[in-house]
């Protein structure tokens, strides 16, 4: 199974700042089928980005994804209060899908 490693584990930033989260795969993700989710405390995860760089329906433009092969990133251009949460990457290119361990984005 493809192992996804997210970094950093915790990111401390202030509202209005730019955040960049990383997701590295143990082998190339077929089709670059890499997605990103945000999970606020006590809530269900929400799909943000699919196929590495496409925004899901209703996701604001401050969220962008990039990367291919084994290295992917999620950028939030200007943090809003609701963005302080945990972010997960997931690949579904291989037959067994896997999640990264998550990055917690906290208020500095």
Partner 1 sequence: EVQLVQSGAEIKKPGESLKISCKGSGYTFTTYRIAWVRQKPGKGLEWMGIVHPDGYDTRYSQSFQGEVSLSVDKSITTAYLQWSSLKASDTAIYYCARHNTGLDYWGQGTLVTVSP
Per CB under 8 A, residues contacting partner 1 are 1, 33, 35, 37, 39, 44-47, 50-51, 54, 56-57, 86, 88, 90, 92, 95-102
Measured from the CB atom, the residue of 15 and 31 that comes closer to partner 1 is 31
Measured from the CB atom, the residue of 14 and 57 that comes closer to partner 1 is 57
CB of 36 to partner 1, least distance (A): 8
d(C-alpha 20, C-alpha 11), whole Å:
9
Structure tokens at 107: 């208020």
Within 10 angstroms of residue 84's Cβ, the number of other Cβ atoms is: 20
d(C-alpha 28, C-alpha 37), whole Å:
20
């Amino acid at each position: 199974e493809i192992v996804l490693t997210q970094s950093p584990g915790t990111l401390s930033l202030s509202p209005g700042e730019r955040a960049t989260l990383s997701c590295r795969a143990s082998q190339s993700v077929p089709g670059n089928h890499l997605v990103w989710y945000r999970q606020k405390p006590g809530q269900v995860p929400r799909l943000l980005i699919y196929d590495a760089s496409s925004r899901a329906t209703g996701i604001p433009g401050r969220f962008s994804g990039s990367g291919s092969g084994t290295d992917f990133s999620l950028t939030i251009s200007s943090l809003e209060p609701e963005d302080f949460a945990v972010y997960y990457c997931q690949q579904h290119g291989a037959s067994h899908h896997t999640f990264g361990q998550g990055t917690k984005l906290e208020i500095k």
